[in-house]
Amino acid sequence: MSQYFADIAPVTFEGADSTNPMAFRHYDPQEKLGGKTMEEHLRFAVCYWHNFVWEGNDPFGGQTFQRPWFPADTMELARAKADAAFDMFRILNVPFFCFHDHDVRPEGSNLAESHKRLNEMADYFEKKMADGGPRLLWGTANMFSNRRYMAGASTNPDPDVFAYCASTVKACMDVTHRLNGENYVLWGGREGYETLLNTDLGRELEQMGRFLSMVVEYKHKIGFKGAILIEPKPQEPTKHQYDYDVATVYGFLKRFGLEDEVKVNVEQGHAILAGHSFEHELAMARTLGIFGSIDMNRNDYQSGWDTDQFPNSPSEAALAYYEVLMAGGFTTGGTNFDAKLRRQSLDAEDLIAAHVGAMDICARGLKSAYRMIEDDALEGPRRARYAGWDSADAQAMLEAGATLDGIAARAEAADVKPQPRSGAQEKLENIVNRYV
């Protein structure tokens, strides 16, 4: 055990009346909703990058955090960081964790050395995972931080960068497969452009489509059974992202025939940056059949960038998990906290308390969503609103062979005079508030 979290006891469930900030009030891992425990429903994961790599910088200031493993530029420090990470996973008793390659090992002098270091850390992880550590929800590659990616990764105008990316993703997929990861995520932080003056848009989209196709082909080649996930994001750092939102990603997948091979990892903060709500993006993913996993966080609604704060709204969580449950729940996916402390939250306890609160918010949201579905509280009114479409005449308008002029003739012959009906939004909002 590392010494960083040495004075912090494992977090336990104490119930809704507890005033202990280091205990769960709502998240009881063994509480059952239907035939599944809350742990099985929520499938919590802790991310490696914000908790153990981020130094507390923001666009206007540098490092505020001082961790004993910083700057983690040696393998010894990388192992010390892993020791602290797995201690934190144990304290929170989370079933999963997630990482980028760049999070867990210092970059080598060349590709071969970077891959060697990644595999050494995978060996280290394997021992810790076998000793009761959490499972791997997903692995991914950081192809946005280094200056080589300033013009994109797979979309880069330099073919050597494309090749570098191919080698990096292959190595990360191999490690994810070896660690029995349940998904592999592709987030193209710079897969987009800043100005059309120097961009061949069509070429870059073709490169990205071919790269993703090769990722899918390699998945099958090595026998990886997990899901390939794309994480949509509309902007920041790249001004015009090719993976703007769920609908954009779906259109891209359809274009390259990958809609049955790739799903999405939807992040709340990214949904807000795209001008959507989290539940909108989740509903879209569910409706299009590409729902995979979620990154749970929130944005500061007054800021213009991705602040990655821990979730604190039970109503937002309830509407999000409503969509998750309506999608059939998680299969390979889960709830990853892609969230970070505020720059002034300096202590080890702050890392634990932030996750405790976030896990409780998600548990409250899940229970509210489950009850709403169980009581038919929203689906009943929704079905009633569309009930007119259940008639044979209405269905006939949508069948093959129906024509615009034929429908028009029927409407004129029947002298239809439709009258608006209330959408009853306020009543439905009141219903939601009763559950949360």
pLDDT per position as a tens digit, 285-307: 999 999 999 999 999 888 778 89
List the catalytic residue out of 26, 41, 50, 100: 100
Q: Encoding tokens for residue 102?
A: 């760049």
CA 94 – CA 91 distance, rounded (Å): 8
Q: Which pLDDT score, from 0 to 100, does residue 188 have?
A: 76
* Residue 187 near residue 225, CB atoms below 8 Å: no
Mean pLDDT, range 75-103, rounded to an integer: 97
Q: What is the mean pLDDT of residues 23-49?
A: 98
Cis peptide before 237 (omega within 30 of 0): yes
Q: Is the dihedral of CA 394, 404, 286, 360 positive or negative?
A: negative
Give SS3 for 256: coil
Give the residue carrying structure tokens 């309830």: 318
Question: Is residue 240 annotated as a catalytic residue, yes or no?
Answer: no
Q: Helix axis angle, 159-178 relative to 201-222, nearest 10°?
A: 30
Q: Would you state the structure tokens that stand for residue 8, as one six-digit string?
A: 């912090």
Residue 176 pLDDT: 98
Tell me the Ramachandran region of residue 329: left when phi exceeds 0, alpha when psi lies from -120 to 50, beta otherwise: left
Tokens linked to 134: 């959490």
Q: Are the C-beta atoms of residues 346 and 65 closer than 8 Å to each other?
A: yes
Give residue-wise pLDDT tens across range 411-436: 999 999 999 999 999 999 999 999 99
Place of tokens 């989370």: 94
Residue 1 has a pLDDT of: 63
**Token pair of 196 as six digits:** 């059309």
Please give the Cα distance from 339 to 144 (Å, whole number).
Answer: 18
What confidence tens digit (pLDDT) does each residue in 336-369 have? 999 999 999 999 999 999 999 999 999 999 999 9
259, 228 contact by CB (below 8 A): no
**Integer Cα distance of 192 and 243 in angstroms:** 8
At 69, give phi and psi (nearest 5°): -95, -5
Residues pairing with 100 in the sheet: 140
Question: Encoding tokens for residue 284?
Answer: 């879209």
* Cα(274)–Cα(210) distance, integer angstroms: 25
For the segment 151-166, the average pLDDT, to the nearest whole number, is 97
The token duo for 45 is 């994961």
Q: Report the residue count for the chain.
A: 436
Q: Is 280 a catalytic residue?
A: no
Catalytic residue among 101, 103, 174, 295: 103
Q: Give the pLDDT of residue 127.
A: 97
Q: How large is the average pLDDT for residues 171-200? A: 95
What pLDDT does residue 302 have?
83
* Residue 328: partners with Cβ closer than 8 Å, 6 or more residues away: none
